[in-house]
Amino acid sequence: MAEAGNERIGFLGLGVMGLLMAVNLVKKSGCPVYGFDVVDEKMQLFKEAGGHTAAEPEEIYKTCSVIMQMLPTHETVIHSVREAVRLSAPETVIIDLSSTAPHIISELNEEVKGARMFLADSPVSGGNPKAADGTLAIMTGAEKGVFTRIEPLLACMGNPVHTGGVGSGSITKLINNTIAGAYLAAIAEGYAFAAKAGIDLRTTFDATRTGFAGGPLYENKVPKIIAHDYEPGARIAVHRKDILNAKAYAHTLGIDLPVTDVTLRIMDWMKDKGYIDIDQAGMIKYFEEKMGTRAGRG
């Protein structure tokens, strides 16, 4: 296998988080990084940061030894991997940084192995702030030798952990997001409760942030609730997709996820009300309506 420092990296999907991750690769990896996105503005920002822009995805598939993808839907993930299988050279590593269902990863892995290539499912967590400063949690399912090859590259974007074989990264991400979803719902409920009780939300935040309720998610989302700032750092739509994937995988194990059911009910309400593409902090809207209150000063 090639050494990390000799890799030519392709990055597909320069979206909200993808651009930040790709820029960290450009700055830290010492490798040439070629990026592609359908949005010209994203391509320009990537170029200004020192990246090489690919005229089309096929350029990345044909010339890069490591192909990273941060894509929004299962359909785009499947299409991208199959294009790599069709066009890329043997020994190429495809790293799916997206939140992809485990059964899809397993099916794609068979196709990738058949082309004498390697697949790593490597979803991330931490949102825009951690994508920007290169401290994302990175959960990587891969063959051990493949992980050794790509770990220095992943470390440019965060803290990679080898979770086991292909597919285990995606399962770990589902576990992460069921926990995070329940936590987000609890935060939203708590701050609507505080608003209904007439307690100042900033004072509540200052008083609780260093206790057991605090943590990185708390620090990121509560100020957005207080300001009614729902500009998406992480969209409810993406998190809901992970919740649905978790439910489907739990079904294959013959188990229920009762707390996750509550999270999904809130996210379904957000979808029905047209709020599905706002930030997760916007889950407060569900509790504002149910409690007849308004949290924050936005």
Spatial distance between the Cα atoms of 164 and 140, rounded to a whole number of angstroms: 7
Q: Are 156 and 24 in contact (CB under 8 A)?
A: yes
Q: How far are the Cα atoms of 68, 70, 95, 272 from residue 57, in angstroms, in the given order?
A: 12, 13, 15, 35
Tell how strand 66-69 and strand 52-53 pair up: unpaired
Q: CA end-to-end span of the chain, whole Å?
A: 54
* Residue of 42, 130, 173, 285 with catalytic role: 173
Count the neighbouring beta carbons within 10 Å of the beta carbon of residue 156. Answer: 22
Active site residue 173: yes
Q: Beta strands of the chain (E only): which ranges?
A: 9-12, 33-36, 52-53, 66-69, 93-96, 118-121, 124-125, 136-141, 158-164
Spatial distance between the Cα atoms of 227 and 170, rounded to a whole number of angstroms: 33
Spatial distance between the Cα atoms of 81 and 215, rounded to a whole number of angstroms: 36
Tell me the catalytic residues.
173
